[in-house]
Amino acid sequence: MRHEVLYGLQQRDDAGISLVPQRMRRIVAGLPQGLDSLLSLSTEFSSRLPAAPRGVLNSLLLHIRRARAEFDGADPTSGDVWECALVGLTAGRGRKYKAVHGVIDFRPVRQTWLRELVKEYGRAARPDVLELRQTVYAATIASAALAHRTEGDTPERLSMADMNAVVDHFRITKRPEDGHDYSTSHRRALLRSWRTFLEFARQAGMMDHVPGGFSVNPRFHTIAPIEVTEDDIGRAVPEHVIAQLDAHIGLLGTSTAYESGGWTTADFAHMYQVVYRVLRDTGRRPGEVTSLRRDCLEWIDGKPTLIYDNHKRRRHGRRLPVSVSTAQEIEAWQKELEVLPDVPACAQWLFPSPGQRNRPRRGHLTSPQFCSRIFRIWVDELIPSIWDERLDDNGQPLAYDRTKIVPYGFRHAYAQRHADAGTRPDVLRELMDHRSLDVTMGYYKVSLTRKQEAVRTVARLAVDRHGTPRGFEDPLAYEVESVAVPFGGCTEPSNVKAGGGHCRIRFQCAGCDFYRPDPSYLPALEQQVADLRADKEAALALGSADWVVRNLDDQIRAYSKSADEMRRRLEAMPEEERTRVEGASRELRKARSAAAFIPMQSLTTRSAP
């Protein structure tokens, strides 16, 4: 047993894991008398230990099990289920330590010949655990396709037609957990894993018995992009949810007390909060933000530009205009980094890696570290209730589904803000660094869909200049027969034809029988009444003619009458319906403002609608 303990400690030393003597003493002090091997320990003994000593003991047991399997000549890859801790594969790309948890299950591959071929690939190529699991899943998809082919169980009779069927199955396979479609990029990645596996197997002589026609031809076996749909793009974190997250940003990163390299918990929390703000305001992918370099900010003609790497498309040194407030957040964090204890292996990164317990800090914060752990804990546990804009049957706000709040959703929110504000598609394509304009146009489809829904809600509530209801029962008529003017809709045919730029009475809408305001114009009406009253006071002070003052009084009364009638109708509605109308009115106001020039600053800094 002493030899086992010493061997396990030596393996931990080789891996660079530090040892806390007190934890080892706690383990040794509790060992039963007469124990001949640590492998004979009961699970009850381990469960009685505190978490830290239990982790050390499990690490020792892992190294001993590997050594015992090697000594006994047992092959941990002989069965159809491989235990990762015994096989000795690295955990994943960028994680060069050996995996210690989980299994790799080859049983879903139905054909015996294909299952053995994938296992032999795992033994010979020694891929990391994540790569091998993806290869096994790709083989499972191919296996499902071959199960419906008469030659599927006889590899000597396979042909190009069988490979065509396999590739077709990659095109239609859906996610097993929810039945949703995979993205085009994920389907291509799975097909690429299948092709890599086949090419290695042929070059290694493992497929000499399989005809050469059973191979992937990259020219013909391709996966076309799936048409972008509203469901693909409409995953933006809503603005009212972002406002609630902002209100509790001080809790982000404070859930666990963690100190490393002279950094305190507060230092790490501040870093995570800056990551959140940059994600929220720039619309970059999480991995693009966490990998920002310290010199990522550049000022040109007094305007800040963010320099980042688009890892997905392998385009480095990209530039994005950002708001001054976002730049100031980054600069404040850069100054704090200068006074924090230096971490040499993290010197070039804006967001240094927090490291792992008992391991030195190196590199930058990774996307999984922030998204799957820090951000997820904050949203799921620390923030109080997050409310939706919808109401339940009792008029109370509904809780928002927290599972929909993911860091990638801030990228969709950024794009949707621009699309709603009328940013030209070619400009938004550049801002998002999209390769295809079709993807960018998807955000405009979402905007159009929301506008159409808003029209259906608000059109029926239009009134005329006397306050009499004159709603549009057909939403199409609202769009075709009226045009937006400053204080309401106009149905005068020549003005509609001119797009609202040919008013014969100089936009004195309150005196026109073609005037059709609806609740979406209420703020404009209230502002117009306030402006007219100010103009009246100025006219009185200047001693203007009576007809000038009288004209202003008449307009004030007319606009007030229309506004009062709409407010009265809104107050008479059930609360749920009134909330829906108010939301639709906000959407229409945003759509009408899209034709105006909107500075970049206002798009990266949200304001209440």
Residue 231 has pLDDT above 50, yes or no: no
Nearest to 168 by CA among 113, 118, 116, 216: 216
What is residue 484's predicted lDDT score, i.e. its pLDDT?
76
What is residue 59's predicted lDDT score, i.e. its pLDDT?
87
Residue 504 has pLDDT above 70, yes or no: yes
Three-class SS state of 411: helix
Rounded Cα gap, residues 443 and 184, in angstroms:
18
* pLDDT digit string, tens, across residues 343-402: 888 889 999 988 765 567 888 998 988 988 899 999 988 777 888 877 677 767 788 888
What is residue 427's predicted lDDT score, i.e. its pLDDT?
84
Q: Among residues of the chain, what percentage have pLDDT more than 70?
A: 90
Q: Among residues of the chain, what percentage have pLDDT more than 90?
A: 33
Residue 204's domain comprises: 81-226
Residue 464 has pLDDT above 60, yes or no: yes
Q: Do 92 and 33 share a domain, yes or no?
A: no
Tokens of 348: 């070039």
202-210 contacts at long range (C-beta below 8 A, 24 or more positions apart): 204/124, 206/117, 206/120, 206/121, 206/124, 207/117, 207/155, 209/155, 209/156, 210/155, 210/156, 210/158
Residue 94 has pLDDT above 90, yes or no: no
Q: Do 271 and 203 share a domain, yes or no?
A: no
Confidence grade of residue 246 (pLDDT, cut at 50, 70, 90): very high
What is residue 225's predicted lDDT score, i.e. its pLDDT?
63
Produce one character per residue of 402-436: b if its CB has 16 or more CB atoms within 10 Å, e if not.
eeebbbbbbbbbbbbbbbbbbbeeeebbebbbbee
Q: What is the mean pLDDT of residues 26-47?
A: 86
Nearest to 109 by CA among 152, 151, 156, 144: 144
Tokens of 346: 């993290």
Q: Do 181 and 88 share a domain, yes or no?
A: yes
Q: Do 50 and 98 share a domain, yes or no?
A: no
| End residue of a domain, out of 363, 382, 401 | 382
Rounded Cα gap, residues 213 and 548, in angstroms:
90
Q: Answer yes or no: is 587 within a domain.
A: no
Tokens of 333: 């964090």
Q: Do 204 and 285 share a domain, yes or no?
A: no
Rounded Cα gap, residues 357 and 367, in angstroms:
18
Other C-beta atoms closer than 10 Å to the C-beta of 359 total: 14
Other C-beta atoms closer than 10 Å to the C-beta of 62 total: 17
Q: What is the mean pLDDT of residues 109-134?
A: 94
Q: Answer yes or no: is 198 within a domain.
A: yes
What is residue 169's predicted lDDT score, i.e. its pLDDT?
93
Q: Answer yes or no: is 591 within a domain.
A: no
Rg, Å, the chain Cα set: 33
Q: Answer yes or no: is 200 within a domain.
A: yes
At residue 5, what is the residue type?
V
Q: Do 211 and 258 share a domain, yes or no?
A: no
Rounded Cα gap, residues 273 and 249, in angstroms:
7
Q: Answer yes or no: is 231 within a domain.
A: no
Confidence grade of residue 609 (pLDDT, cut at 50, 70, 90): very low
Least confident segment among 42-56, 131-145, 287-301, 493-507: 493-507
Q: Do 160 and 104 share a domain, yes or no?
A: yes
Q: Answer yes or no: is 445 within a domain.
A: no
Q: Answer yes or no: is 341 within a domain.
A: yes
Total number of domains in the chain: 4
Other C-beta atoms closer than 10 Å to the C-beta of 527 total: 12
What is residue 430's predicted lDDT score, i.e. its pLDDT?
87
Confidence grade of residue 33 (pLDDT, cut at 50, 70, 90): confident
Confidence grade of residue 605 (pLDDT, cut at 50, 70, 90): very low
Q: Answer yes or no: is 194 within a domain.
A: yes
Rounded Cα gap, residues 290 and 374, in angstroms:
13
* pLDDT digit string, tens, across residues 519-572: 888 888 888 899 999 999 999 998 889 999 998 998 898 888 888 888 888 888
Confidence grade of residue 274 (pLDDT, cut at 50, 70, 90): very high
Q: Do 198 and 255 share a domain, yes or no?
A: no
Q: Do 87 and 185 share a domain, yes or no?
A: yes
Mean pLDDT of the chain: 84
Q: What is the mean pLDDT of residues 581-605?
A: 58
Q: Do 373 and 479 share a domain, yes or no?
A: no
Q: Do 87 and 221 share a domain, yes or no?
A: yes
Helical axes 437-458 vs 409-420, angle rounded to 10°: 70
Q: Do 34 and 103 share a domain, yes or no?
A: no
Chain centroid offset of residue 447 CA:
19
pTM for this one?
0.54
Q: What is the mean pLDDT of residues 422-434?
A: 83
